[in-house]
Chains A and B, each alone.
Chain A
Amino acid sequence: MTHTLQIPIRNVSCEACTIVIGRMLNKFPRARVESISPDARTLTITCEEKDVSAIKDKLREYNYLNEERSAKEHVWFVLERIIGNKKGFEGEHTILTQTLGVMAILVAVLGALYYTIIPATPYTERILPILALVPIGIALNAGALAHIKQVRAHFTCSNGMMAGMIIGMIAGFLAGAIAGATNGMFVGSLVGMVIGMGVSAWVLRTNGIMSVLEGLMAGLMSGTMGAMLSVMMLLDHLVEFLYILFGVGALILAGMSYFMIKEVGPIQSEKKVSFATMTMVSILVLVAIIAVIFWGPKSSFTLGGFS
């Protein structure tokens, strides 16, 4: 039995949208478009009762279904679909699993380094509590960068600038904070700046000179600020604060991914970032940071001790 119903829609703005909806409905026997009103944002269709759910799913897949959700409901909707590997969010699910996989591998590599080449000294013992943050921070940033790489072709200028500044700030801040805690203000600032500015510039390289400069500024400020914060907190619960800082950083990176989904939609790119590439680059960054922490120059005032 057929019946007529109104479905709230969005993103319907031109003839192509109307054609897409019409052809989509043609795939359902006895379904037809009665009217499409872009101004009223409603689609009136006639179809069989059993097809309503499938038609709504198809409209959702094409991003036409206007589902009135509160901001909080939408966050949970997206999160549930990513974690559950639901249709349309397979790309994000892959990045999530790759990020967790890279994190596990980096922890294993760090463990191997700890039991082989990292010197067993009082300095190592004192900085041990924050070493675990290094693989976590690298994996989170690798996941965020993989997400950016796969949606950047659909960015507007302001989307790109926002994503580039956030990732550059977080990467620079976290790297600067760790290196600042273990090596002091000078090395910490340099590490934070190099990583923050490098990541921002890489993300924003195709966005024009204004964006690149914004990204470089974000990396410059976050790298130096991360190191400065650690040095200033050396005598005041620095380890605890770094765990809070990394937690907040992780939440901001997750927020950035949500922002990208909201602005440009789920991943549709053919430019997949392979797990092997993500892992190899992350291991190289881990080894470089560990080298700086243990064999790089240190100031006389660090978490590892005072001299």
Chain B
Amino acid sequence: MKKTIKTKGMHCPSCEILLREAIEEAGINVISANHAKNEIVVDVKDESALSTAKKAIEKEGYKIA
């Protein structure tokens, strides 16, 4: 299922790359990352995968809005 994660702290395309790679390394498919909207759209199977994606974001020093 497609889920949108609202983040805090993304300000340039590098942040998008950074978070995209971090989430994908955690095994979650990223559909899009948009620093202008401060959001990442992921394709997850359940809430546990969503939580994994959020943890990967926080591990990179960004916050979940």
Contacts and interface: CB of A to CB of B under 8 A. Distances in A.
B34 A17 contact: no
A193 to B, nearest CB: 32
A33 to B, nearest CB: 14
A268 B14 CA distance: 14
Given A23-B21, A153-B37, A270 B32 contact: yes
Contact of B36 (A12, A153, A265): A153
A16 B32 contact: no
Interface in A1-32: 11-14, 16-17, 19-20, 23
Contact of B12 (A13, A265, A268, A269): A13
What is the interface residue range for chain B against chain A? 10 to 19
A63 B13 contact: yes
Contacts of A14: 11-12, 14
A261 to B, nearest CB: 14
B31 A20 contact: no
Main secondary structure on B side of the interface with A: mixed
Contact of A153 (B13, B18, B21, B34): B34
B41 A62 contact: no
B21 A11 contact: no
B17 interface: yes
B5 interface: no
Interface in B6-65: 11-15, 17-18, 21, 31-32, 34, 36-37, 41
Main secondary structure on A side of the interface with B: loop
A17 B12 CA distance: 9
A29 B36 CA distance: 34
Contacts of B11: 14, 16
B32 A269 contact: yes
Interface in A123-168: 153-154
Interface residues of A, number: 17
Contact of A20 (B14, B32, B41): B14
Scoring B17, B31, B34 by chain A CB atoms within 10 A of each residue's CB, the highest score goes to B17
Nearest to A62: B17
Nearest to A61: B17
B37 A270 contact: no
B36 A20 contact: no
A268 B36 CA distance: 14
Scoring A12, A13, A16, A268 by chain B CB atoms within 10 A of each residue's CB, the highest score goes to A16
B62 to A, nearest CB: 9
Interface of B: 11-15, 17-18, 21, 31-32, 34, 36-37, 41
9 contacts: A11-B12, A11-B14, A13-B12, A14-B11, A17-B14, A62-B13, A62-B17, A63-B13, A153-B36
